[in-house]
Amino acid sequence: MESAPPRIMIGFDVSFIEFTLATLIPIYAGMLSVIVICKVTRLNMRYISAFALGLLFWFFFDTMNDAVQLGVNEGYTLDFRQSCLILLFVTGFLLLTLLDGRTCTSDNLTGNNRSPILLGILAAFGMGIHGFGEGLEFGTLAAGTQAVSVVDAIGGAGGGISYFLHKLLESTIVIVVFLSATGTLNISTQKQVRQMTAIGLIFAIPSMVGEAVAYYVPMNATYFFAMGAGAALSVALYVIKPIFGERPEDIVFSRWIRISFSVLLGFFLLYGAALFHS
């Protein structure tokens, strides 16, 4: 009796290096492209933020699908799985919302009182939670595939191009939040360059960690996608402010919290209605 052929597995070093490069390169390319476009066109931050909001609409929709829409098709089962998905969604949203309210040096949530680097870090971390789930999926795939290369493992060149473009476009959301907080579209000082570099790394590191963990310990990424969806909804609030403008007396921390909870309430009212369809 012939023995079964040995299973081919992509080595951790190969998968990690290629995944890291496929993540970092488009992230910094996307961030730099926004800066260059802003310098050339001199567009108002309002329009750049509107573009980022459009990206976020799809990002949120895509992440919700990855999170199986928080188990909406299961109806009001409220079993352990569905409860965890809902809880993690709320956790992702509130974590970034509450921290955002404390990135200011005073009670007013205005551009002049905000810490641009802290707000950029929060946006990068929020968007990166979804990346952690992607890293988990890729690590599990790389460890268990019979493909001879990473490109083959993800379904060919199309899969690689899709991931590259996703990261490139998602990174523009992060840099737009940072630029709107700085109040300038011009990144010229060494300090700003270092800050942008740090923000890109914070966005990328969750993906890299997820890949490294799941290569050896497969994990269910759905729960992290749920948390990432909640975080993405909070990032949308960061992006939307420059579109409509803000007056210092209008946005204080207490009012920001009420606005954030109103967004969460509206989301879950429709979510609860959708559960009746199941």
pLDDT reported for residue 104: 53
Residue 3, domain member (yes or no):
no
pLDDT reported for residue 179: 87
Domain count, the chain: 1
Residue 120: domain span: 12-275
Residue 1, domain member (yes or no):
no
pLDDT reported for residue 249: 46
Strand, coil or helix: 114: strand
pLDDT along the chain (278 residues), means of 10: 56 90 95 87 80 89 90 85 94 88 52 71 95 94 80 80 90 90 70 88 96 93 95 89 60 71 77 69
Residue 4, domain member (yes or no):
no
Q: Cα angle at 68 between 66 and 158, to 5 degrees?
A: 30
Residue 5, domain member (yes or no):
no
Residue 56, domain member (yes or no):
yes
Residue 159, domain member (yes or no):
yes
Residue 182, domain member (yes or no):
yes
d(CA 90, CA 84): 10
Q: How big, in percent rounded to 5, are the helix, strand and coil portions of the chain?
A: 75, 0, 20
Q: Which residues of 82-121 are buried (b: 16+ CB within 10 A; e: fewer)?
A: bebbbebbbebbbbbbebbbebbeeebbbbeebebbebbb
Q: Which residues of 221-254 are buried (b: 16+ CB within 10 A; e: fewer)?
A: bbbbbbbbbbbbbbbbbbbebbbeeeeeeebbbe
For 54-108, strand residue ranges (E) read none
Residue 6, domain member (yes or no):
no
Q: For the full predicted model, state whether its pTM sits above 0.85.
A: no
Token look-up 């009796």 returns: 1
